[in-house]
Amino acid sequence: MRIIILLICTALSSKAYAVEECDLHGSLEADPLSISEPVKFQDIQGAKLIEVCTIAINKQNENLPRYYLLRARGYLSSGSYEEAKSDITYSHEMGYAAATFALATLHHFGEGVPQDLLKAAILYQQAYNYGVTWAARGLSILYDDLSFDDYDPKLSKDWLYRFEGN
């Protein structure tokens, strides 16, 4: 009887997530809330990802921030940087940590926005604080960049250690 009660409680306390085609076509490895196998950027079929994520977005459910981020990957793969930036920013504003990481990378590498290494550092730090361990890798690369005003090889190694240690 105890086992049955335990199983029922576990089932009720577990939040089930439906896997949408949006997830299957664009899941991001850096996203700690990802619910399907990651898709390498070079394997993304941009038009298909945009289509299936738009369908998922139109459902207006609790996964909306993730769907905007994944649709942005479709836009990025298609070279539509303005649309990608818009979706990433919207997801970030909804508090989605992986979108904060994605926004940091846009600023870091100047894709769709002017390069702003200080803003990238701030966003990477925020993303890391919210559980995106890939942000430590971004910070490692950033602190190892001679053009970054806060260039610091030791700090770069520290961030790399945090990334590899997780």
Count CB neighbours of 74 within 10 A: 26
The Cα 90–Cα 68 span in angstroms is 7
Terminal C-alpha separation, the chain:
39
Three-class DSSP labels, the chain: CHHHHHHHHHHHHCCCCCCCHHHHHHCCCCCCCCCCCCCCHHHCCHHHHHHHHHHHHHCCCCCHHHHHHHHHHHHHHCCCHHHHHHHHHHHHHCCCHHHHHHHHHHHHHCCCCCCCHHHHHHHHHHHHHCCCCHHHHHHHHHHCCCCCCCCCHHHHHHHHHHHHHC
- 22 and 67 in contact (C-beta within 8 Å)? yes
Condensed to tens digits (0 to 9), the pLDDT of residues 24-66 reads 999 999 999 999 999 999 999 999 999 999 999 999 889 999 9
Structure tokens at 9: 């409680």
pLDDT in the model for residue 50: 97
Higher pLDDT among residues 12 and 64, named by residue: 64
pLDDT in the model for residue 61: 87
Structure tokens at 32: 């700690």
Condensed to tens digits (0 to 9), the pLDDT of residues 86-119 reads 999 999 999 999 999 999 999 999 988 999 999 9
Distance from the Cα of residue 154 to its chain's centroid: 26
Q: Scan for tokens 């602190």, then name that residue.
A: 143
Which domains, from first to last, does the chain contain?
Answer: 19-165 (1.25.40.10)
Q: Residue 2: is its pLDDT beyond 90?
A: no
Report yes or no on whether pTM surpasses 0.95. no
The Cα 146–Cα 28 span in angstroms is 29
